[in-house]
């Protein structure tokens, strides 16, 4: 039996939250101290979950190795109000600790900047307005298993089955957007960031956020 055959593929469950947030933190926020990493990654994940209508995780044993979340237009989110309430509670809780509050501000400023660019894309009526890939993440420990490609393909299968005409996603210079270009997506919008990202000063560093889209 290969490592891939040992993987379980299933929908995201509420009990996955801590492990999935840990994966997000280790993968995207390695510069943050442990407490700040945990706080920022939990709030960011709750933010994405509050908007998600479909999900898939790759699990091996007790470890989540990857996840994808979709937000589909005109479809009701899965537990959206509960996740939004959790995001609010976690954010309020972090406000009382300067270290946590600063980490959350830095991370969520970037998320909000991407969201603002997304609103412009949606208002322009781009090809991918029917759905958004809100999150696609794979553990660095899972390289070579094909998890990212399988999660991505499953999300596209879902969109085709439900009749979506296209989709889009948000990304930035810290991510491997070459993966999306290889999958046939086009860069629909680009903007130099004005937010403080981990390790990036907008006054001196060139750092961009992007919208990628694809027709189906």
User: Where residue 38 sits, what CATH number does that domain have?
Assistant: 3.40.630.30
Q: 1 lies in a domain?
A: no
pLDDT digits (tens, 9 = 90+) for 102-123: 999 999 999 999 999 999 999 9
Q: 106 lies in a domain?
A: yes
What range does the domain containing 139 cover?
A: 8-215
pTM assigned to the model: 0.93
Banded model confidence at residue 202, pLDDT cuts 50, 70, 90: confident
Is residue 214's pLDDT more than 70? yes
Total domains in the chain come to 1
Q: 154 lies in a domain?
A: yes
Q: 3 lies in a domain?
A: no
Is residue 1's pLDDT more than 80? no
Do residues 87 and 46 lie in contact, with contact meaning Cβ atoms separated by under 8 Å? yes
Q: ∠ at Cα 136 (131, 137), nearest 5°?
A: 170
Rounded Cα distance, 131 and 18, in Å: 26
């Amino acid at each position: 039996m290969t490592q891939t055959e040992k993987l379980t593929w299933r929908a995201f469950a509420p009990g996955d939250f801590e492990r999935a947030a840990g994966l997000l933190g280790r993968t995207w926020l390695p510069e943050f101290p442990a407490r700040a990493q945990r706080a920022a990654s939990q709030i960011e994940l709750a933010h994405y979950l509050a908007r998600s209508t479909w999900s898939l995780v790759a699990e091996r044993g007790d470890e989540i190795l990857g996840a994808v979340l979709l937000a589909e237009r005109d479809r009701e989110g899965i537990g959206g109000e509960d996740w939004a309430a959790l995001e609010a509670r976690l954010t309020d809780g972090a406000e009382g600790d300067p270290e946590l509050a600063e980490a959350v501000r830095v991370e969520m400023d970037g998320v909000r900047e991407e969201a603002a660019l997304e609103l412009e894309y949606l208002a322009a009526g781009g090809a991918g307005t029917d759905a958004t890939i809100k999150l696609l993440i794979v553990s660095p420990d899972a390289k070579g298993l094909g998890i990212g490609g399988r999660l991505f393909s499953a999300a596209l299968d879902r969109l085709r089955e439900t009749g979506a005409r296209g989709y889009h996603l948000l990304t930035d210079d810290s991510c491997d957007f070459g993966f999306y270009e290889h999958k046939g997506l086009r860069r629909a919008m680009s903007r130099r960031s004005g937010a403080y990202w981990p390790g990036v000063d907008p006054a001196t560093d060139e750092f961009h956020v992007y919208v990628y889209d694809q027709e189906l």
